[in-house]
Amino acid sequence: MSQPCSSNHARPATGPRPRSSTSSTSLNFTRRDFLKTAAAAAGAVAAPNLIPASALGRDGYVAPSERIVMGGIGLHNRGMHDLKWLMSEPDVQFVAICDINKANAERIKVETEKQYGANSCAIYRDIREFVVSRPDIDAVLSATGDRWHALAAVIAMRAGKDIYSEKPSSMTIAEGRTVLETAKRYGRAYQTGTQRLSEANHVFCIEMAKSGRLGKIHTAYAHIAPWEAAEMNHAWMPAEPEPSKDDLDWDAWLGACPWRPYNSAYVAGRWRGQYDFHTSCIGEWGAHTFAQAQAGLGESLSSPIEYEYVNNDSGDGMVCHFKSGVKMILARDLDKRYWHGSCGERFDGTEGWAAAADSYGKPDVSSPGMLNDFKKIVGDYMGRTQRPMNHMRDFLDCVRSRRLTVANASVMHHSMTTVHCANICMWLKRSLKFDAAKEEFINDPEANRFRSRAMREPWIF
């Protein structure tokens, strides 16, 4: 399935990859073929209205040759939201869904064909078959459960596809490193679904911190989910009769995770809180907020070097120290000290503070006057970086331009490394020191064993 690096760099900067030539058929072009073609052409002239404007790139439609052809992997719940977002972009053509759950795949097919027409979406069950049998697909949207995010991304990128992957995008430090190295080796555009990095309120706070408008930043706060625990369940749910493989492929659903008996509750979403499938309350929101906080601290390409254990079940209040001396504190924030919404971040500096979370009209700031330059700060960011306030659009633009996305594989890996280190700290119930450059814990073999997990064949990198 792997391909040489050079074979994946040939896409033009102004559009999707060119389609393969069909010149071999022209060598056998006969007089009968010519007459058939001429008759068809005459019919087209006689009835030009039979060709829709969308097929010709007229009336505001993007011509088919300029569309980004996309497929999906495991689109359900959050994935359906992402799919509708994706289909709102006029230069996208969605053509295939890969899902081991037959009902989910058929639901996606119905939804997409409302927009793209009957029989426009193919269904696949095996991700390996899907990526190699569709050379026409430029990029894929992946919104599987956490356990599949990294492996699906690697399989897709090795087959020459760009990928938008939902978060949390890795289950271990080793998985994140593999995703990053694969994106680099195969020259793939990769975007992790930390969409608040492309939302104006969060961008404003990040820019306030990075620009020095808050003075010297000494502390950032990052939201972790206010439910479940850092210590996850290792027990198996009771066995139930497996559905037919045609309806749901249970072995493929498990993927690289250890085998366990089928239980319908897993498929319904109760895989959360299970060690084999989830990244805990820390990863649930930290996959977003650590990336947000680290961006404002200028630490997007690194991770903290020390994690202070806190004696509770969630990691609430854990202090993470960066090499620069700046601190990031994990907060459930049940008393609304730092923000009043979800997935928030806050930056405290010597000259003030700024915070944002979901459902905000404008960020919270220590001084109302700081908001006077809100539009200018966000506008300057967009002008300087040439990034839109639209995470999916940023991905699609980078599919065309071949530059790094705002939440590229490096950003993902280093923020998720922070998630994994914080989890390991809570699991071992002691403070840890981490060499961020080597990506290993210092003089701690027990902690280092948690940097990776065994993968069950055939679902291996």
- Of 272, 300, 326, the domain-final residue: 272
- Which structural domain, as residue segments, surrounds residue 254? 236-272
When pLDDT is averaged across residues 199-203 and rounded to a whole number, the result is 98
Are 136 and 66 in the same domain? yes
What's the token pair of residue 91?
A: 């230069």
39 assigned to some structural domain? no
What confidence score (pLDDT) does residue 61 get?
A: 72
Q: How confident is the model at residue 382 (pLDDT cuts 50, 70, 90)?
A: very high
| Residue 306: CA count within 13 A, CB half-sphere | 9
Are 268 and 147 in the same domain? no
Which residues share a beta bridge with 123? 97
Pairing of strands 162-165, 190-192: parallel
167 assigned to some structural domain? yes
Share of the chain above pLDDT 70, in %: 87
- Residue 251, pLDDT > 70, answer yes
Structural domain count, the chain: 3
What confidence score (pLDDT) does residue 62 get?
A: 81
Are 286 and 362 in the same domain? yes
Q: What is the CATH number of the domain that holds 351?
A: 3.30.360
Cα–Cα distance between 285 and 277 in angstroms, integer?
15
- Of 247, 272, 297, the domain-final residue: 272
Are 212 and 300 in the same domain? yes
Q: How confident is the model at residue 20 (pLDDT cuts 50, 70, 90)?
A: very low
Share of the chain above pLDDT 90, in %: 85
Cβ atoms of 67 and 16 within 8 Å: the answer is yes
pLDDT per position as a tens digit, 123-141: 999 999 999 999 999 999 9
What confidence score (pLDDT) does residue 59 get?
A: 61
Are 136 and 210 in the same domain? no
- Residue 57, pLDDT > 80, answer no
When pLDDT is averaged across residues 439-447 and rounded to a whole number, the result is 98
Are 283 and 259 in the same domain? no
Are 66 and 131 in the same domain? yes
What confidence score (pLDDT) does residue 65 get?
A: 82
Cα–Cα distance between 256 and 174 in angstroms, integer?
14
Please give the helix or strand (H or E) that residue 356 lies within, else none. strand 352-356
398 assigned to some structural domain? no
Q: Which amino acid is at 293?
A: A
Tell me, what DSSP letter sits at residue 327? Answer: E
Mean pLDDT (the chain) is: 90
399 assigned to some structural domain? no
300 assigned to some structural domain? yes
Q: What is the CATH number of the domain that holds 184?
A: 3.40.50.720
Are 142 and 284 in the same domain? no
What's the token pair of residue 250?
A: 């249970």
Are 294 and 369 in the same domain? yes
When pLDDT is averaged across residues 393-412 and rounded to a whole number, the result is 98
Beta-sheet strands, E only, within 101-254: 122-124, 139-142, 162-165, 190-192, 217-223
Are 178 and 308 in the same domain? no
- Of the listed ranges 7-21, 156-170, 315-329, 360-374, the one predicted with least confidence: 7-21
Cα–Cα distance between 398 and 401 in angstroms, integer?
5
Cα–Cα distance between 103 and 147 in angstroms, integer?
20
- Residue 401, pLDDT > 50, answer yes
298 assigned to some structural domain? yes
Q: What is the rounded radius of gyration, in angstroms, for the C-alpha atoms of the chain?
A: 24
Q: Which amino acid is at 199?
A: E
What's the token pair of residue 54?
A: 């969308």
- Residue 461, pLDDT > 80, answer yes
Q: How confident is the model at residue 53 (pLDDT cuts 50, 70, 90)?
A: low
Are 254 and 190 in the same domain? no
What confidence score (pLDDT) does residue 54 get?
A: 56
Q: How confident is the model at residue 64 (pLDDT cuts 50, 70, 90)?
A: confident
When pLDDT is averaged across residues 334-362 and rounded to a whole number, the result is 96
456 assigned to some structural domain? no
When pLDDT is averaged across residues 343-351 and rounded to a whole number, the result is 98
What confidence score (pLDDT) does residue 211 get?
A: 97
What confidence score (pLDDT) does residue 434 get?
A: 98
pLDDT per position as a tens digit, 206-216: 999 999 999 99
- Residue 37, pLDDT > 60, answer no
Cβ atoms of 59 and 53 within 8 Å: the answer is yes
Are 119 and 185 in the same domain? yes
When pLDDT is averaged across residues 21-43 and rounded to a whole number, the result is 39
137 assigned to some structural domain? yes
